[in-house]
Every structure is written in C-alpha cells, then in structure tokens.
Amino acid sequence: MTGVYPGSFDPFTLGHKDIVERALKFCNTLYIAVSDNINKKHLFSKEERVEMIRQTFKGNDKIIVESFQGLLVDYMLAKKASFIIRGLRAVSDFEYEFQMAFTNRNLESSIETIFMVPGSQYLFLSSTIVRDIARNNGDISKLVPKPVLEKFKKIY
C-alpha cells in the first residue's frame, strides 16, 4: 500500500521522522509531500526542505520525497496512494485534522486518513518551537535530523 505524509515541514523534526519510521510498518511506499502553507512565512524554501528530508532518509527506497502544490487528493490520485498519514501531538491538533480528513474524504471517497501520535519524547515538538530555539541560539541537536541541523548551522 502507498501512503502520503503531507506537510510544510519547516523544518522537518525528529517528531516527523518518528511518524515516518512507524508509518513504514504498514506501507510499501511512503511519499513525503512537501508543500507551502500560504498562512506561514517559511524559513526554508520548498526545495531546501525537500533536500533536507531526502538527506535524512538517504538510502531508504521505500521513501520518496517530493514537493507538490494544489489539492492533496489530486496528488494522491496521481501517485495511486490509499491513505494520508497525519501526526497528532495534542487535542488541539485534532479539530483541524479531523476537519481536513472529512474534507479530503468528501473530495475523494477512496482516500483514508490515518492519525499517528509521535513518541512521547516528541509530543511537545513542533517546527515553530525548533525555529524559535534556533533563533535564540539554543541547542536543537536533539530535535532535528542531522541534515536539518547542518542547514541551521549555516543560518545561525
């Protein structure tokens, strides 16, 4: 089965990585679909985010990292994907994700959404928190994969 893990991933964190690694237990191919969120000002370009994630999973042929734009359901149909992977950290994430799951199902009834909770050590972790810590010269080495850390070192 083929799944899609969509997000802006600005930056990709160890919480995201945890979700990917566990999602691989039940899919043959996982697309990590990087998009721009028009409601956010991104620190890294879409191309930079794609490249950092590719480096994180270098050598794993079950993972394909691409950028996309437009409707997620259209991307999924083009990839012949069956399900969307979404991470939930807290109850506050659920309302938005629940709404999006029903919207996607309404647009394309064949697509399911699977909600996954990251490991407890990552429940607090978000891309926003990582950016804030890095901007203030904090240590993010235990929060992001090595390729992301290296990219941050070039900025800060």
Known catalytic residues are 16, 40, 89, 127
Q: Which two tokens stand for residue 131?
A: 């950016």
Handedness of CA 15, 97, 41, 30 (dihedral sign): positive
Q: How far is CA 134 from CA 67, 85, 126, in A?
A: 25, 27, 13
